[in-house]
Structure 1
């Protein structure tokens, strides 16, 4: 039986739970699970503080006028808080720097790791917006709806990830 104090959940059980989250997402918020559009919403709101004309730009207006994007922003905050609560309940701590991370990228200290995490997150978010959604949007929601574009996107993500891993591991 699943418990909130377990150190890890079966990926199958976690997948079922995440898949079932689609039901309230569609019924209550009229949207699919996704995360990358929330960053566009927040960026639009922050930019509009400095330049109100941002609200009239087609790209930002779409994300700033719909409540479903506010719901997705709450989802992103909930993911971070859920991860924090989960580690506290399970009494788990990650090592400061894993041996795999140390071997792959010779960065040291918090600043180096933070810079790498920011750069990686920026590239990932940029790619997600170019693909019209993130892995959760395409992989969970799109594939769950059997959307051909989402299925192709997920295949491309796996192929790209495997290719990059092979380059780094020199397999």
Structure 2
């Protein structure tokens, strides 16, 4: 039993995770569904009555109940993983990345999934924390709405459906990620 838990608690290799994602996508295509996590937020807003004041949220949310069940599974899966499958092993990142992050004031890069120096309640009330969490969250939400979906919706579902708009969105996501990583993030980390 311990061997199974050890195997499950490690990141799955691409040759296991990739075919599983493909199987899910083929199943969704077969049943005429499209995948995207941002649509769950739209559904939740519609359930809470946002359709009364905004046409974007005015749709039959009952047709999207399967998506909410999927989102519930994500939360429960994350909870089970955190409680029962987590280990104390550091995140494996290269020595050069560790050195660079330390030069920006991150004390133990790789010890946690996200740097505790930036992502904690106390940091939220600093300029750096506000920019990362509040401004960054706003930009993610705005970008998701402006692009007509999130990275998972476009990159997994949209590209699987051969949608040209998703290809453009994914190209934009990658360009934005590269610009952020190399030109903006270093300056934000030294604030």
> What TM bracket, shorter-length normalisation?
0.7 to 0.9
Q: In the alignment, does 2:41 pair up with 1:42? A: no
Contact 2:155 2:170 in 1 (8 A): yes
Q: In the alignment, does 2:11 pair up with 1:5? A: no
Match of residue 123, structure 2, among 103, 112, 122: 112
Q: In the alignment, does 2:186 pair up with 1:169? A: yes
Q: For 1:75 and 1:7, how far apart are their aligned partners in 2?
A: 23
Name 2:101's counterpart in structure 1: none
The Cα shift of 1:14 comes to: 1.5
The Cα shift of 1:41 comes to: 1.6
Q: For 2:42 and 2:69, how far apart are their aligned partners in 1?
A: 13
- 3-state SS, counterpart of residue 121 of structure 2: helix
Q: For 2:180 and 2:49, how far apart are their aligned partners in 1?
A: 34
Match of residue 76, structure 2, among 67, 76, 81: 81
Identify, as 1 or 2, the structure richer in helix.
1
| Equivalent residues in 2 for 1:1-171, closer than 5 Å | 5-28=8-31, 30-48=32-50, 53-54=52-53, 57-62=54-59, 65-92=60-87, 99-100=108-109, 101-102=114-115, 107=118, 109-112=120-123, 116-117=132-133, 119-167=135-183, 168-169=185-186
Rate the CA distance shift 1:16–1:67 in 2: closer, same or farther, 3 A.
Answer: farther
- 3-state SS, counterpart of residue 33 of structure 1: coil
Q: For 1:70 and 1:41, how far apart are their aligned partners in 2?
A: 8
The Cα shift of 1:83 comes to: 2.0
Q: TM-score normalized by structure 1?
A: 0.73
The number of equivalent residue pairs is: 158
Larger radius of gyration: 2
Contact 1:135 1:154 in 2 (8 A): yes
What's the CA shift string for 1:30-50, capped at 9, x where partnerless? Answer: 3111110110121222245xx
Q: For 1:107 and 1:6, how far apart are their aligned partners in 2?
A: 26
Q: Which deviates more, 138-147 or 73-82?
A: 73-82
- The structure with higher relative contact order (CA 8 Å, sep 6+) is 1
- 3-state SS, counterpart of residue 22 of structure 2: helix
Q: Cα RMSD between the aligned structures? A: 3.2
